[in-house]
Amino acid sequence: MDVKKVLLGVTGGIAAYKSAEICRALQKKGIDVRVIMTENATRFISPLTFVALSGHDVHSDLFEDPKEPILHIDLARDSDLFLIAPCTANMLAKIANGIADDLMSSTALAMASPVIVAPAMNVHMYENAATQHNLCVCRQRGIHIVEPAQGRLACGDEGRGKLADVDDIVSYASSVLFSIDDASDETCKEEDDHDLCGMKILITAGPTVEPIDAVRSITNRSSGKMGYAIADCAKRRGADVVLVSGPVSIDAPAGVDLIKVETAEEMLSSCEDPFTQSDIAVFCAAVADLRPLKSFDRKLKKGIDDEALSTIDLVPNPDIIATLAAKKRDDQVVVGFAAETDDVIENAKQKLNAKHADMIVANKVGGGLAFGCDDDEVSFVTEDDVLSLPLMDKAQIADRLLDQVLKC
């Protein structure tokens, strides 16, 4: 296999220093990295850093070499992927509007290979309608977006705008780069189909874990695969995704806002704010119905704590979907899941009304179906209809689910 070549673009923001980590991480994957910088980026980190790391000259001026007047064309032609990380609001606006007034923006306009941008900026700049419009335009044109993270920003503000984790950026770039030769992936919508662009989606996934003591807990066998597949497809189709997940052993899709929780009460608390902002909420998590009345911060010992071990008093957990969906707006769509062993459709219909949901995804558990599997057999139950799907991959189910949600 030929060595893949990534052109790394560095723009002028405080997160520019992380570009050096991105460069090294890409190189560890056997990728040849070349770097271009905006003039402002050179004020945050020296080009010599990238010369030393990449082993190549670093360019920042469109006309720096009179002998090479079409540098941007040569750079674009010789790259398998263009990754701009960090990408400022200014550079994002240039790319969205086709402006080519410096080396970076001219190269982006000349790229025939995939382009990925990882925005990083102040929360108010990120949430500004102009920036959100530019992100939407970029998605519609097939440009990949690695969404910024949420947290404390360099300016002291709190909110979304931090450069995504280096590992997430590198993982996303690698997945795009190494899938160029295999564009036949049919497990989800094509990358250029961004029918969820501009929409906010809340997804819950995985099990909850209710502690009995320091080592024991009440939980279930949910792997989180279904919820994570929905998050992945929603992100690829252009949505802004918040994924609230119980403990699982799989990686979250690149670009989603992952919130890790353990208990049902933590999951409810973590969902409350994203739910109010969401257009679609998909409650896929397998939430424990009950939790111990009392949890011990030490291990209960046989022969010492026999009384506590012999009887564990349980109390109901909050009903997350019913609690939140009772306050849903008219323009929100709420989807729940019903894992049943018997009377699957009948139980799903009852749950539809009890949970104030617009749709229930019903599936039969046991017999090698549902928990831990890569495929499943489900039915979409609404007030007026039941659509049953044959056995298929969970990524395909996720795709069909989002299609059905849009019809709602």
Q: Which residues are catalytic?
A: 155
Q: Which residues are CB-contacts of 91 (< 8 A; sequence separation ≥ 6)? A: 9, 11, 38, 84, 104, 105, 117
**Of 150, 161, 164, 258, which Cα lies nearest the Cα of 204?**
258
Whether residue 343 contacts residue 293, with contact meaning beta carbons closer than 8 Å, is answered with: no
338 forms beta bridges with 362
Q: Pairing between strand 149-152 and 158-162?
A: antiparallel
CA–CA dist 93, 166 (Å, integer): 23
CA–CA dist 271, 203 (Å, integer): 9
Q: If DSSP codes are grouped into helix, strand and coil, which group holds residue 348?
A: helix
Q: Which residues are CB-contacts of 230 (< 8 A; sequence separation ≥ 6)? A: 203, 205, 282, 284, 398, 401, 402
Q: Which residues are CB-contacts of 395 (< 8 A; sequence separation ≥ 6)? A: 187, 188, 229, 232, 233
Distances (CA, A) of 187 to 47, 241, 396: 41, 19, 5
CA–CA dist 336, 364 (Å, integer): 14
**Of 121, 99, 120, 118, which Cα lies nearest the Cα of 109?**
99
Whether residue 60 contacts residue 38, with contact meaning beta carbons closer than 8 Å, is answered with: yes
24's tokens:
């090294």
Peptide bond into 86 cis (omega under 30): yes
Structure-token match 């080519």, residue found:
100
